[in-house]
Amino acid sequence: MKIKAQISMVMNLDKCIGCHTCSITCKNVWTNREGAEYMYFNNVETKPGIGYPKRWEDQDKWQGGWELKNGKLRLRSGAKLTRMAKLFYHPNQPELDDYYEPWTYDYETLINSKRKNHQPIARPRSLITQQRMEIKWGPNWEDDLADGQSARQDVNLRNMGSDIALEFHDLFMKYLPRVCNHCLNPACVAACPSGAIYKREEDGVVLVSQDGCRGWRHCIPACPYKKVYFNWKTNKAEKCIFCFPRLENGLPTVCADTCVGRLRYMGVLLYDMDKVKEAAATPDKGQIYHSVLDIIMDPHDPEVLAAARKEGIPENWLKAAQDSPVYKLVKEWQVALPLHAEYRTLPMVWYVPPLSPITRRAEADVYLPEATDMRIPLAYLAELFGAGNTQVVARALQRLLDMRLVMRAQTTGDRLPARLEFDVETYQAMHRLMGIAKYKERFRIPAGLQETSQEKLHELQGTCGYTCPGGC
């Protein structure tokens, strides 16, 4: 058993209002500069839809993530030799049109226009060519199903054989905020010919070394979530850095901190690194989720704690793992699920799936795994969060519904269903964390990592944290 610590995030989709605050605050902090105009480390999509970049979930097109070949795990983009042959031309690169052409507006015309009969207009102007342009697509073009047509091209509908009629009376939608998943088995890291992408030893954050990146761009198609971008100005890859300078100071990421719906949770998970490959190679894709749960270790178990100390995980990290809201949602209550586990990268950003409008169902008290008339079809949610396994999603939704029934019964005095899986106190704790938790309950990030990192650097380099000739 080799225990490692991972900073992880959970998003409760029932509470996302699609306000895009997370995208904008992230953009203002990290990608508001030349070469990065089109990049959104955090973006929010409306589902069903094709998303950003267009059809990112279509791995037949992009060849992203991992696959099992003769029982062995390998990148979908091919074995090493095949990938080397694509070194100078990789056919599966997304282009600017797949994202969108970023633009600004001629604001000056609003300010400097002479007095006229009509209101002056600020026309769009390309941020790439500086020319006037017609806007045809954007990073949230499909907001609230606004595009009208692209929802039908959602890859998940194709995969489930699309027995869903997207007619007006049957329409459903939900928001899906996305960041890099800081995966346990990251395809971006494995695909980089320069070894410039790495997973940080101390907290599992996946970063691109800007010094090491040679601009081969193999990480971009390899990431099945399309969360690595190419900076056309610097010719380097860039990606979400999980706001590591904030983490190092015990603060959550900007997107989590500013989330209006207060739906994001961050904390530490302890996992067994020795079993990562085995979990990623689980033969049945619908069982990958269970394999990942098996390698997330109990932070209260003395054996796990001893193994973690042996790996040098500091005491404040172990305490944070024990108090982790993410551990509760992911492992204890098992209501948070990975996005597209079938890509086999073992994502460490988790989602509490949305419970459809539910009052009628709560009154009817139908057991969800047997329900056929959910507003958001179970089969659709299973494509996103269960690798096609509807039981996984139904079980999480059932627990959410039971939580509501328990809390409702406290006021109405209703009889509780006999099937409850947890005791009443557990449902109350679930309700507190998911409904009304304060900042410090939602984010348990151990401070002092920066000092630890600096100490490690001192150890590694013998002198100080600087790599310049002569050190200090």
Binding site for ligand SF4 (CB under 6 A): 16-22, 44, 175, 177, 180-183, 186-188, 206, 223, 225, 227-228, 239, 259-261, 263, 345
d(CA 47, CA 74): 29
Length of the chain: 472
* Of 12 and 452, CB closest to ligand SF4: 12
CB of 279 to ligand SF4, least distance (A): 15
Residue 401 and residue 354 in contact, taking contact as beta carbons nearer than 8 Å: no
Residue closer to ligand SF4 (CB basis): 225 or 427: 225
Report DSSP letters for 75-122, one per residue: ETT--HHHHHHTSS--TT---HHHH---EEE-HHHHHHPPP-SS----
Of the pair 164, 256, the CB lying nearest ligand SF4 is at: 256
Longest CA–CA span in the chain (Å) reads: 78
Q: How far is the CB of 183 from ligand SF4 (least distance, A)?
A: 3
Instruction: Give the type of residue at 330.
Output: V
The nearer residue to ligand SF4, 225 or 327, going by C-beta atoms, is 225
Question: What is residue 303's three-state secondary structure?
Answer: helix
Min CB(175)–ligand SF4 separation in Å: 6
In the complex, least distance from residue 208 CB atom to ligand SF4, rounded to whole angstroms: 9
Strand 124-126 to 103-105 pairing? antiparallel
Which residues make beta-bridge pairs with 69?
72
Q: Which residues of 350-370 are buried (b: 16+ CB within 10 A; e: fewer)?
A: bbbbbbbebeebeeeeeebee
Nearest 10 degrees: Cα torsion 174, 350, 55, 186: 170
**Shortest gap between Cβ of 284 and ligand SF4 (angstroms)?**
22
Q: Are 125 and 135 in contact (CB under 8 A)?
A: no
- Choose between 304 and 355: whose C-beta lies nearer to ligand SF4: 355
In the bound state with ligand SF4, the residue whose beta carbon lies nearer, of 144 and 315, is: 144
Nearer to ligand SF4, 20 or 361 (CB): 20
Q: Helix or strand or coil: residue 176? A: strand
**What one-letter code names the amino acid at 421?**
E
> Which residues 6+ apart lie within 8 Å of 242 measured at CB?
7, 179, 180, 182, 205, 206, 253
| Token reading at 15 | 């509470």
Q: How far is the CB of 461 from ligand SF4 (least distance, A)?
A: 27
Q: How far is the CB of 71 from ligand SF4 (least distance, A)?
A: 22
Residue type at 453?
S
C-alpha–C-alpha distance, residues 125 and 138, integer Å: 14
CB of 199 to ligand SF4, least distance (A): 8
Residue 403 CB-half CA count within 13 A: 20
Smaller CB separation from ligand SF4, 239 or 442: 239
Least distance from C-beta 9 to ligand SF4, angstroms? Answer: 11
Q: Residue 8: enclosing H or E segment and its boundaries?
A: strand 3-12
Residue type, 432: R
Nearer to ligand SF4, 20 or 47 (CB): 20
Shortest distance, position 93 Cβ to ligand SF4, whole Å: 15
Amino acid letter, residue 249: N
